[in-house]
Amino acid sequence: MNKKKKILIANRGVIAIRALRAAKELGYEVASVYSTADKNQKHLRLSDEAICIGPPNSKDSYLNEAAIISAAELSNVDAIYPGYGFLAENAEFAEKCTKSGFKFIGPNFDIIALMGDKIRAKELVKSLGVPVVPGYEGKVESKEQIEAEVEKIGYPVIVKAAAGGGGKGMRVVNERSALWEEIQSAQSEADLAFGSKEVFIEKYLKKPRHVEIQVFGDGCGDAVHLFSRDCSLQRKYQKIIEEAPAGKIPEAKLDEIQQISVNACKQMKYEGAGTMEFLYENKEFFFIEMNTRIQVEHTVTEMITGVDLVQSQLLVALEGEFNLNQEDLKINGCAMQCRINAEDPETFIPSPGKITQVHRPGGYHVRFESQIYSGYEIPPNYDSLIAEIIVKETNRERVINKMRMALNETIIDGVKTNVDLHKKIIEDKNFHEYKHYIKYLEEDLLKHE
Ligand code: ADP
């Protein structure tokens, strides 16, 4: 009999248990890494091996490339699953995995590097026919030169770091007098956060929606799209409610952007799961970036397509098996996800600590993705995401009704969470009518208390 294949999960939290389940169902063995703050993670008990890679600080554990590669060697795995966050979009790490003899579960490291540089990414997708946000991607030479460039775009503009991520280092500039100073501080902030001073400028869209296309490629030139998601309900440039498919967009427009996205993937010979992110305003799409990994919101796509995206990632990486075919992919119903964060619902400040009691929601087409249990202690060192509630129904109104039920059933005691905030959002009239946009929560809903 063939030796069972084995993967290393190089992550924690919600995505670690998600990946563990997918791998175990496919018959793979699983080794998992953890920091000393994470000894109580549920997925460790379900793994065949658990390897401590360092102290709580991410820099010394989940971002410690050498420790993770050593863990892979020690447990003799075939492949490394990066999840999202941490090293998932780190091209150097992906290259190290490959050069150390481990399959990195994701696209080739040169594609990760290319997409990680937002200027090069924009140039590439533009050349492949993808519409991008108008802007200036050239060199910043002098105050006068850049003022003249921005004059052509028109104010307001947003200054972004080429190597940016996680919503960091972005600055909105409303008028010429503030431009030079903002560029200089964006450059030093980018240097500090990402080790590169390079910035670029985009037209600032005032009330866009965030709409994205899920793509999946076999690495050899074949690819499919798995339709759209709307992720416009955000706080601090981070998503908190996601839906699939994206509603209230003319069908022909959506078909077109899906086709453009999948064609770009085919031309890149993209491997595995990826997302083309767009802003959508006045019935037009504008590319902002491509994420070369699985995303937190992949679950809503799974609900409407019936495809287990994490298993598809494992199959393409470990078996070279591409199990998706565009003709077979159909949208069935619609789905919504609420991200449950352990945080203050008003200030968004994280609220770590011991969960004294948990009651999970249940029912038909209700999914609760989480590691948490009564007595689990949330460490203060990581992201505040502790659970995802995902529901599916035949139409959006019924999805909202089901989500209301699921939120009402959810009890997480001992720490502050945003469950009540979600309850409020899903009752909002503008949310019901799809009139929300990326800053809606901060600029409107929370202001009118
Ligand atoms: P990051 O990689 O840091 O997440 P993105 O380019 O994906 O950066 O942008 C994150 C969020 O910032 C978007 O979802 C959107 O809310 C906002 N944003 C980005 N670009 C623009 C723009 N040109 N106009 C208005 N908002 C923008």
How do residues 253-289 score in pLDDT, each as one tens digit? 999 999 999 999 999 999 999 999 999 999 999 999 9
Split at pLDDT 50, 70, 90, the class of 3 is confident
- Please enumerate in sequence order all residues whose Cβ is within 8 A of that of 69, keeping only pairs 6 or more positions apart, or say none: 96, 97, 100, 102
Residue 2 has pLDDT above 80, yes or no: no
User: Do 331 and 392 touch, CB atoms closer than 8 A?
Assistant: no
Residue 316 has pLDDT above 70, yes or no: yes
Q: What is the mean pLDDT of the chain?
A: 96
Per the annotation, the verdict on 367 as an active-site residue is no
Q: Which of 171, 279, 282, 440 to mutate to test the pocket of ligand 1 (most atoms within 8 A of CB)?
A: 279
Residue 169 beta carbon below 6 angstroms from any ligand 1 atom: no
CB atoms within 10 A of CB 43: 25
**Residue 40 alpha carbon to ligand 1 centre in Å:** 35
Residue 156 beta carbon below 6 angstroms from any ligand 1 atom: no
428 conformational bin, left if phi > 0, alpha if psi -120 to 50, beta if neither: beta
User: Do 363 and 406 touch, CB atoms closer than 8 A?
Assistant: yes
Catalytic residue among 209, 293, 339, 367: 293
**Residue 237 alpha carbon to ligand 1 centre in Å:** 7
Split at pLDDT 50, 70, 90, the class of 346 is confident
Residue 104 beta carbon below 6 angstroms from any ligand 1 atom: no
Q: Report which ligand 1 atom has the smallest distance to the Cα of 234.
A: 16
**Residue 425 alpha carbon to ligand 1 centre in Å:** 22
**Residue 202 alpha carbon to ligand 1 centre in Å:** 10
Please give the share of the chain, as a percent, with pLDDT higher than 90.
94
pLDDT at 449: 62
DSSP annotation of 36 reads G
C-alpha to C-alpha distances, 427 to 134, 210, 270, 364, 432, nearest whole angstrom: 35, 21, 40, 22, 7
Task: State the average pLDDT over residues 172-191.
Answer: 94
User: Do 344 and 411 touch, CB atoms closer than 8 A?
Assistant: no
- Please enumerate in sequence order all residues whose Cβ is within 8 A of that of 425, keeping only pairs 6 or more positions apart, or say none: 233, 241, 431, 441, 445
The residue whose CA is least distant from atom 9 of ligand 1 is 167
DSSP annotation of 206 reads S
Question: Could you tell me which residues are beta bridge partners of residue 200?
Answer: 160
Of 324, 319, 236, 238, nearest to 274 by C-alpha is 324
Burial pattern 4-42, b for ≥16 Cβ within 10 A else e, equals ebbbbbbbbbbbbbbbbbbbeebebbbbbbbbebbeebe
Span 49-99, pLDDT tens digits: 999 999 999 999 999 999 999 999 999 999 999 999 999 999 999 999 999
Span 385-409, pLDDT tens digits: 999 999 999 999 999 999 999 999 9
